[in-house]
């Protein structure tokens, strides 16, 4: 049984997989991750190995404590992955992007796949039907755009995310909502269209914290799953266990 540890800025997602079947998923604070992992080891004695994706946020003493009596793989750019990585600077490729591409290989093998992760940033990652990862794009996410308008100007307010009810904003607030949300939607639709011009058999996956908010507004048919990154981490662990 596999333990997946996905470390964010404040919270940690923990998931258990029996091979490729999700058994449990929970969230804990970063400060309490060691205690929570120990509880899970007691509750699920079949947990024998795990993978941690932390981008340096999990301190070495915490990793050492989690790794005690346990086979823990720390994901980095040197980890063996189930695809050919043709990124020019693999050492700078975010491990979350590595996990998402791995998940696409597991779910959609031999497909041209564009993975769109709508979170703090919006990342676009493309892998060919020959299992070659080429790269993609990075742009500001929804909240970053709202915050940028507020922080980098003198008078624009900081608003909560809201779906605009019309394209023409008739107030400053409505104009911000229209600019941010419609800007993101048109950007994503534009990227999808550009890729489809070159790859007519393209599979598009939308994931990330803003995926549900955006999915109803996008024109293109997409596949959305909240566990996609966790499944990718599990697949990398399985790939390295064989």
User: Which residues are documented as binding site for substrate?
Assistant: 87, 94-97, 172
Asked if 189 is an active-site residue, the reply is no
CATH code given to domain 2-74:
3.30.420.40
pLDDT confidence of 55, banded at 50, 70, 90? low
Between 64 and 128, the more confident residue is 128
Provide the angle, in degrees to the nearest 10, between the axes of the packed helices 33-43 and 60-67.
10
| pLDDT greater than 80 at residue 238 | yes
Chain CA centroid to CA 200, Å: 25
On average, the pLDDT of the chain sits at 93
Average pLDDT on 107-124 reads 95
Residue 56: predicted pLDDT: 65
User: Which residues are documented as binding site for ATP?
Assistant: 6-13, 120
The CA angle 17-75-191, to the nearest 5 degrees, is 90
pLDDT confidence of 64, banded at 50, 70, 90? confident
Domain coordinates in residue numbering, the chain: 2-74, 84-233
pLDDT confidence of 70, banded at 50, 70, 90? confident
User: Which residues are documented as binding site for K(+)?
Assistant: 117
Closest listed residue to residue 138, CA positions, set 92, 175, 104: 92
Q: Minimum mean pLDDT among 5-9, 19-23, 202-206: which range?
A: 5-9
CATH class of 84-233: alpha beta
| pLDDT greater than 70 at residue 210 | yes
| pLDDT greater than 80 at residue 69 | no
Residue 223: predicted pLDDT: 74
Note the pLDDT tens digit of each residue in 168-197: 999 999 999 999 999 999 999 999 999 999
Note the pLDDT tens digit of each residue in 139-172: 999 999 999 999 999 999 999 999 999 999 999 9
pTM: 0.92
Distance separating alpha carbons of residues 20 and 82, to the nearest angstrom: 15
Which of 35, 88, 96, 201 is catalytic? The answer is: 96
Note the pLDDT tens digit of each residue in 74-87: 999 999 999 999 99
Residues 20-55: b if buried by 16+ CB within 10 A, e if exposed: eeeeeeeebebeebbebbeebbeeeeebeebbbbbe
Q: Is 16 helix (H, G, I), strand (E, B) or coil?
A: strand
Average pLDDT on 124-153 reads 98
> Is it true that 2-74 and 84-233 share their CATH fold?
yes
Closest listed residue to residue 204, CA positions, set 143, 115, 136, 104: 115
Average pLDDT on 199-227 reads 87
Per DSSP, what are the bridge partners of residue 206?
116, 224
| pLDDT greater than 80 at residue 234 | yes
| pLDDT greater than 90 at residue 68 | no
């Amino acid at each position: 049984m596999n333990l997946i540890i996905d470390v964010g800025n404040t919270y940690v997602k923990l998931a258990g997989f029996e091979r490729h079947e999700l058994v449990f998923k929970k969230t804990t604070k970063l400060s309490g991750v060691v205690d929570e992992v120990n509880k899970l080891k007691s509750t699920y004695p079949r947990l024998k190995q795990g993978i941690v994706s932390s981008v340096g946020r999990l301190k070495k003493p915490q990793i050492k404590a989690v790794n005690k009596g346990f086979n823990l793989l720390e994901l980095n750019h040197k980890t063996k992955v189930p695809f050919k990585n043709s990124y020019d600077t693999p050492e700078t490729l975010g491990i979350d992007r590595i996990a998402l591409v791995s998940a696409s290989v597991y779910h959609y093998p031999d497909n041209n796949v564009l993975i769109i992760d709508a979170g703090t940033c919006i990342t676009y990652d493309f892998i060919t039907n020959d299992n070659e990862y080429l790269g993609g794009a990075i742009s500001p996410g929804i909240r970053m755009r709202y915050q940028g308008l507020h922080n980098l100007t003198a008078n624009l307010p900081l608003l909560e995310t809201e779906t605009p009810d019309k394209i023409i904003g008739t107030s400053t607030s409505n104009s911000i909502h229209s600019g941010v949300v419609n800007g993101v939607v048109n950007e994503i639709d534009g990227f999808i269209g550009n890729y489809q011009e070159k790859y007519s058999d393209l599979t598009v996956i939308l994931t990330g914290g803003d995926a549900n908010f955006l999915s109803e507004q996008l024109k293109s048919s997409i596949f959305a799953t909240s566990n996609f990154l966790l499944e990718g981490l599990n697949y990398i662990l399985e790939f390295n266990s064989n």
